[in-house]
Chains A and B, each alone.
Chain A
Amino acid sequence: MSNKRKQHRVLPGFGLSMGYTLIYLSLIILIPIAVLFLKATTISLAEFWETVTETRVVASYKLTIYTSFIAAFVNAIFGTLIAWVLVRYEFYGKRIIDALVDLPFALPTAVAGIALTTIYAPNGWIGQYFESIGIKVAYTPLGIMIALTFIGLPFVVRSVQPVLQDLDQQYEEAAATLGANSLQIFVKIIFPAIFPAILTGFALAFARALGEYGSVVFISGNMPMKTEIVPLLIITKLEQFNYAGAAAIAVVMLVFSFVLLFLINFWQWKTTKKYQVC
């Protein structure tokens, strides 16, 4: 059954490293998630169904998914733009901007949430101008999107930047000699090459936004049916010592996220496969 002539590997010890990988994944990810599923099964199926389909809960699913999607989408566009600027142009202070991109990772999310709420509140620095043209930012889904955009930005920039860096200028030159204009070069040559990376960044930002709690709870205002996100509902249930209910909602969210990420990864895998070169 086993192949006698073993393939040469750079690092020996496949058995050991694979074993380590599995233990590590189990301890950090699989076991906690399994416990979550176990906890959710302590209630009956009817109770489970009732908890996860309650109108207030369903509204929160919708809100979380749609704000997360918009935030990740905005990041996919502007994150790519930032990566482009950082790779293609030389300017004074480039290193500082480069470092600034990672800041949303470092900042405690609650601090970010409070800061964003302060400036986007109806009387805040930026919020007052929106208020004057009749747009409410804080305490609305728009505010949630801003918070989620903030925390998701580094994912897209950091996914696209290295790919853009490695992109050989020769392809653009070749396209130019064949008569393509700048827009055509970007759309037909550069974009297909960086698209898988943008997709990766999008998926990461989206996943992160689905689970984000700290920065959102301040700016959202947490009005039931309107600006209540799923993580907040879970916390609420926990505070009422309804652990099984919290686990039930979490399970639904988890399954949904997993399916979505799996689909995005599959799509990304399909696009990348096509471009593979010698």
Chain B
Amino acid sequence: MGITIKDVSKAFGTFQAVKNVNLDIPTGDFVALLGPSGSGKTTLLRLIAGLEGLDSGGIYFDDVDYTYKTIKERNVGFVFQNYALFKHMTIFDNIAFGLKVRPRKTRPSKNEIAEKVNELLKLVQLDHLANRYPSQLSGGQRQRIALARALAVEPEVLLLDEPFGALDAKVRQELRHWLREIHQKLNITTIFVTHDQEEALEMADTVVVMNNGEIEQIGSPEEVYQKPESAFVYSFLGRVNEFREPERVGESEIISYIRPHEIVLRKISQGNSIISEVSHIHVIGSTVRIELRRHDTGDLFEAEMSIEQYQNMSPVKKGDILHAEFKNIVVFNSENKITHLANSGIRNSLKSKLI
């Protein structure tokens, strides 16, 4: 089912949580709502589910006005951040809940319910846990059950609020792949909320970047990463060094950005480079991050390279002097238009900040 959101706004008291959001989600899409906390992503998800009422605008499911439909009528599956599994029911009863509460006319028979529940338990690969209680399950298992429960009512839209937020890194990684697989198998429109850019880029077909209640950019993971439309998107997706030019009279501050992997470090001066001192070296698996301090301004910045590049460079240690060449500097002007300054424009007056 396709979802269209037209000019939707929602305020909590004086706080404007969602401002004039427009969004078009085609049927079967896998969408990530990505943004920092307080960006309105969860509120938008809850508006789609009908868990919050909107102040203005409209929500359409397949061009049918769903703005004022009740939660029940929307037929969405919602997975809560803390799973919200019913503590006093077994896993089986949790999953069967959505089927058991149906009015008698549309309610499946006991055997049909059992069959459906077992099928879902197999889908989430936890069929051996049917008679346990939620308190006896691990976080990852609870997450799967929460999803199975949401799928039991055969929703046409699946909504997930920070689905992997409370899990440890390894389980999170497993569940990401698993959720993608489930989506491919069932092909229902899926929207999930996350503050983790890696999760959004890795899983989604479409990434919606939100900030301060507004949509900053909509695009494929590649688009939002490679062609960010605003300074916010650029700096939110991936690590970045920020450079501020000191304000001059009558001009607004210009901020330029560079990603750590776009900085080339050499031992000898070559071209337009900046002399810097190594202040820290972090080896994180296959990548190496080197923190440097510019000699001219004393500011810190970060460069990144692969472990191979690092090993090819003759040994570097803390306190060494390196020459840094900035390959791709990005500047956003006041209209948020992007300018790429390849290998040029580095003035000594640039101040830098690691963000």
Contact = CB atoms under 8 A, between A and B. Distances in A.
Interface of A: 168, 170-171, 173-181, 184, 188-189, 192-193, 274-278
Interface string B37-77: 00000000000010100000000000000000001100011
Contacts of A174: 78, 80, 84, 86, 149
B98 A173 contact: no
A277 B82 CA distance: 13
Contacts of A177: 49, 51, 71, 76-78, 150
Given A277-B135, A278-B135, A181 B72 contact: yes
B84 A173 contact: yes
Q: Taking chain A's interface residues, is the majority helix, strand, or loop, or is none over half, making it mixed?
A: helix
Contacts, number: 65
B82 A184 contact: no
Contact of B88 (A170, A175, A176, A192): A192
B102 interface: yes
A274 B133 contact: yes
A278 B135 CA distance: 6
A229 B42 CA distance: 60
Nearest to A187: B101
Contacts of A176: 51, 71-72
Contacts of B135: 276-278
B133 A179 contact: no
B300 interface: no
Nearest to A185: B101
A258 B134 CA distance: 35
B153 A168 contact: no
A180 B84 CA distance: 15
21 contacts: A170-B84, A171-B84, A173-B71, A173-B84, A174-B86, A175-B86, A176-B51, A177-B78, A178-B97, A178-B149, A178-B153, A179-B98, A180-B72, A188-B86, A188-B97, A189-B86, A192-B88, A275-B87, A276-B87, A276-B135, A278-B135
Given A174-B86, A188-B97, A277-B135, 19 more contacts: A168-B84, A171-B84, A173-B51, A173-B84, A176-B71, A177-B49, A177-B51, A177-B71, A178-B97, A178-B149, A178-B150, A178-B152, A179-B101, A180-B101, A181-B72, A193-B87, A193-B88, A275-B88, A277-B134
Interface size range of chain B in the complex: 20 to 34
Contacts of B97: 175, 178, 180, 188
A175 B87 CA distance: 13
A275 B90 CA distance: 10
Interface string B108-148: 00000000000000000000000001110000000000000
Contacts of B87: 193, 275-277
Contact of A171 (B76, B77, B86, B101): B86
A274 to B, nearest CB: 6
Contacts of B82: 170
A177 B50 CA distance: 9
A181 B71 contact: no
A173 B80 contact: yes
Contacts of B49: 177
6 smallest A-B Cβ distances: which pairs?
A178-B98, A174-B84, A177-B78, A180-B101, A170-B84, A277-B135
B98 A170 contact: no
Contacts of B76: 177
Contacts of B98: 178-180
A171 B51 CA distance: 12
A178 B84 CA distance: 12
Contacts of B71: 173, 176-177
Interface in B202-222: none
